[in-house]
Amino acid sequence: MKTSITQLFKNCTFVALFAVAGSASAATYTAISSGLWSNTSIWAGGVSPGASLGTLDNVIINAGANVMLDMDVEFSGILTSLEVNGSLQSSSSSYFLDMTGGVLLGSGSLTMHNLRFGTLATMTFSGTANVDKLWNNSLTLNLASDLVVNDSLFLDAGAMNLSTGSLTFTTGTVIRVENGTLAASGGLLNNGNAYSVLYVGSSKNTGIELAGSGLTDVWINLDDNTQKVFIVGNVNIEGVVHHNQGMINLNGGTLTLIGDYSAVSSVFFIGSPTSNLSIQHGTSLSSVLMFDEDADVLNDLTINMVGNSATTYLGSSLTINGTLLLEDGNFSMAADTLTMQTASEIVVTNGQLVSSGGVFDGDNLYDVTYDGTVSAMSGLELTGLGLNDLSVMMDDETLAVYLSNSVAVDGELNLEYGGMELNGSDLTLDGSLETTSDGWFGGHANSDITFNTDSLVGDTVWFSAANNTFGDITINAADSSDLMVASNLHAENILMTAGGLHIWDNEIWLNTTGAITGANKSRYVMIDGTGSLVLNIQVAAPYTMYAVGTDAGYAPVGLQQNTGTAGYFKVNSINEVWSNGLSGIDFVTDNQTVVSRTWNVQPVSAGALDMNLTTMWQDIFEVNTFDRNDSYIMRYNGVNWDASNQVGSVATPVGNMYQLERENLVSLGQFAVGAGDELNINENTPIAAVIYPNPVQNILNCVVVFDEPTTAKVVDITGNVLHTENVNGNHSFDFTNYPNGVYYVNYSNSTGSSSYKVIK
**562 lies in some domain:** yes
Q: Are residues 568 and 698 in the same domain?
A: no
Mean pLDDT of 460-476: 96
Backbone angles phi, psi at 380, to 5 degrees: -65, -15
pLDDT at 1: 32
Q: Are residues 665 and 702 in the same domain?
A: no
Q: Are residues 652 and 712 in the same domain?
A: no
Q: Are residues 670 and 563 in the same domain?
A: yes
To 10 degrees, the CA torsion angle through 260, 261, 262, 266?
-170
Q: From the centroid of its chain, how far is CA 138?
A: 51
Q: Strand, coil or helix: what is 469?
A: strand
Q: Strand, coil or helix: what is 437?
A: coil
Extract long-range pairs of 222-231: CB within 8 Å, 24+ residues apart. 222/246, 225/266, 225/267, 225/268, 227/201, 227/202, 227/203, 228/203, 228/270, 229/199, 229/203, 229/204, 229/205, 230/203, 230/204, 230/205, 230/206, 231/206, 231/255, 231/275
Mean pLDDT of 180-201: 93
Q: From the centroid of its chain, how far is CA 213?
A: 29
Q: Are residues 668 and 692 in the same domain?
A: no
> How many CB atoms sit inside 10 A of residue 339's CB?
21
Q: Provide the residue range defining the domain that includes 717.
A: 688-759
Strands (E) across 618-741 are located at 631-636, 652-654, 657-665, 669-675, 688-692, 699-705, 710-716, 721-727, 731-734
Q: Are residues 671 and 727 in the same domain?
A: no
* Amino acid identity, position 746: N
Return left, alpha or beta for 637; rule: phi > 0 is left, psi -120 to 50 is alpha, else beta: alpha
* 282-308 pLDDT, tens digit each: 899 999 999 999 999 999 999 998 766
Distance CA 446, CA 425 (A): 7
When the pLDDT of each residue in the chain is averaged and rounded to a whole number, the result is 91
**Contacts (Cβ under 8 Å, ≥6 apart) of 71:** 37, 38, 51, 95
**433 lies in some domain:** yes
Q: Strand, coil or helix: what is 468?
A: coil
pLDDT band at residue 468 under the 50/70/90 scheme: very high
pLDDT at 478: 94
**713 lies in some domain:** yes
- Report whether pLDDT(499) > 70: yes
Return left, alpha or beta for 79; rule: phi > 0 is left, psi -120 to 50 is alpha, else beta: alpha
β-pair partners for 759: 742
Radius of gyration of the chain (CA): 44
Q: Are residues 750 and 719 in the same domain?
A: yes
**611 lies in some domain:** yes
Mean pLDDT of 214-240: 96
User: Percent of the chain beyond pLDDT 70?
Assistant: 95
Q: Are residues 371 and 489 in the same domain?
A: yes
* 699-734 pLDDT, tens digit each: 999 888 777 889 999 998 777 899 999 998 899 999
**Contacts (Cβ under 8 Å, ≥6 apart) of 379:** 348, 352, 353, 354, 404
pLDDT at 757: 83
Alpha carbon separation from 615 to 577, 633, 661 (Å, rounded): 14, 8, 7
Q: From the centroid of its chain, how far is CA 547?
A: 40
User: Percent of the chain beyond pLDDT 90?
Assistant: 78
- Name which of 405-419, 525-539, 574-588, 616-630 the model is least confident about: 574-588
Distance spanning both ends of the chain, measured CA to CA: 89
Distance CA 320, CA 672 (A): 64
Q: Strand, coil or helix: what is 20?
A: helix
pLDDT at 646: 82
Q: What is the DSSP string of 710-743?
A: EEEEEEETTS-EEEEEEESS-EEEE-TTSPSSEE
CB contact at 8 A, 63 and 108: yes
H/E segment holding residue 500 = none
CB contact at 8 A, 666 and 613: no
Q: Which among 408, 394, 416, 403 has a CA at the least distance from the CA of 349?
A: 394
Distance CA 330, CA 355 (A): 10
Q: Are residues 658 and 721 in the same domain?
A: no
Q: From the centroid of its chain, how far is CA 365?
A: 18
> How many CB atoms sit inside 10 A of residue 459's CB?
19
Q: Are residues 376 and 400 in the same domain?
A: yes
**Contacts (Cβ under 8 Å, ≥6 apart) of 416:** 391, 392, 393, 434, 435, 436, 438, 439
The total domain count for the chain is 3
pLDDT band at residue 640 under the 50/70/90 scheme: confident
Backbone angles phi, psi at 85, to 5 degrees: -105, -20
pLDDT at 581: 86
Q: From the centroid of its chain, how far is CA 335?
A: 27
CB contact at 8 A, 277 and 321: no
Q: Are residues 649 and 622 in the same domain?
A: yes
**544 lies in some domain:** no
pTM of the model: 0.82
Buried b (16+ CB within 10 A) or exposed e, 118-140: bebbbbbbbbbbbbbbbbbbbbe
pLDDT at 360: 98
Q: Are residues 382 and 489 in the same domain?
A: yes
* Amino acid identity, position 686: P
To 10 degrees, the CA torsion angle through 464, 470, 476, 479?
20
β pairing state of 400-402 and 96-105: unpaired
* Amino acid identity, position 578: W
Of 503, 523, 538, the last residue of a domain is 503
**261 lies in some domain:** no
Distance CA 680, CA 353 (A): 72
Of 675, 709, 738, the last residue of a domain is 675
CB contact at 8 A, 228 and 270: yes
pLDDT band at residue 3 under the 50/70/90 scheme: very low
CB contact at 8 A, 253 and 232: yes
Q: Could you check whether the bond before residue 739 is cis, i.e. omega within 30 degrees of 0?
A: no
pLDDT at 683: 44
Q: Angle at Cα 689 formed by Cα 686 and Cα 690, nearest 5°?
A: 155
Backbone angles phi, psi at 664, to 5 degrees: 55, 45
Mean pLDDT of 428-439: 95
Of 481, 503, 525, the last residue of a domain is 503
CB contact at 8 A, 339 and 365: no
* Range picked from 221-230, 580-589, 631-640, 651-660 for highest mean pLDDT: 221-230
Mean pLDDT of 489-517: 95
**158 lies in some domain:** no
* 456-466 pLDDT, tens digit each: 988 899 999 99
CATH number at residue 724: 2.60.40.10
Three-state SS sequence of 235-285: EEECCCEEEEECEEECCCCEEEECCCEEECCCCCEECCCCCEEEECCCCCC
Counting every residue written for the chain, the total comes to 760
Extract long-range pairs of 388-393: CB within 8 Å, 24+ residues apart. 388/412, 388/431, 389/413, 389/414, 389/431, 390/414, 391/367, 391/416, 392/416, 392/417, 392/418, 392/419, 392/420, 392/439, 393/369, 393/417, 393/418
**622 lies in some domain:** yes
Q: Which among 289, 297, 338 has a CA at the least distance from the CA of 314?
A: 289
pLDDT at 463: 96
* Amino acid identity, position 122: T
Q: What does DSSP assign to residue 443?
A: -
- Name which of 513-527, 667-681, 692-706 the model is least confident about: 667-681
